[in-house]
Amino acid sequence: MTDILPTGPSQDVESLLTASGLPTADLRDGAKVTLFGCITDGHLRGIVGLEIHGQVALLRSLAVPPSERGTGLGAALVSRAEQYAARRGVDTVYLLTTTAAGFFERRGYSHVSRQAAPTAIASTTQFSDLCPSSSAFMGKPVGS
């Protein structure tokens, strides 16, 4: 598997997220998102983002182009973000999804009531504005 490294917002990142139906507006508005990308020969093969809020984090912006799906890249991106979160003292990673609940369930995430969202997560732009209220809200413990 190719290295997954921290990366910054770019036109390639925004293009991949837009093509995947994911929001990008808050990436430009100063959201504190750490992005990890898999880039091979100058080509962005996948991206994932993580917003850390103390002991909780929001996994977001997971996008892999159709040509890369089924290769394990999405799982590797999620794993990299979870490891990063755990090393920074995060206990639980949360996410919102409209299309990939099964993917995340296979990686140990379980459904959580939106009403049970920690205040720090409920206050994010992703949670409060950008993701529809019909999105599945899920969480996974990552702390030791």
Residue 38 CB contacts under 8 Å (≥ 6 apart), including other chains: 2, 3, 4, 5, 44, 45, 46, 47, 73, 76, 77
133/105: higher pLDDT: 105
Structural domains in the chain, sorted by start: 5-141 (3.40.630.30)
Distance between CA atoms of 126 and 123, rounded to whole angstroms?
Answer: 8
CA distance 140 to 19: 27
Structure tokens given for 98: 């409209």
Residue 70: what pLDDT?
85
Q: What is the DSSP letter of 60?
A: E
**Per-residue confidence (pLDDT) for residue 130, from 0 to 100:** 65
State how far the Cα of 86 lies from the Cα of 142, in Å rounded to an integer.
6
With residue 105 as reference, give the H or E element that holds it: helix 101-105
pLDDT in tens, 82-122: 999 999 999 999 999 988 999 999 999 999 999 999 999 99
Q: How far apart are CA 141 and CA 89, in angstroms?
A: 11
List pLDDT tens digits, range 32-90: 899 999 988 888 999 999 999 999 999 999 999 988 888 999 999 999 999 999 999 99
Question: Tell me: the pLDDT tens digits for 5-41?
Answer: 999 888 999 999 999 988 887 776 656 899 999 988 8
Q: What is the pLDDT of residue 8?
A: 85
Mean pLDDT computed over 121-126: 88
Higher pLDDT, 49 or 133: 49
- CB-neighbour burial class of residue 135 (10 A; exposed 0-12, middle 13-18, buried 19+): middle
| Dihedral of alpha carbons 109, 111, 117, 122, sign | positive
**pLDDT at res. 2:** 64
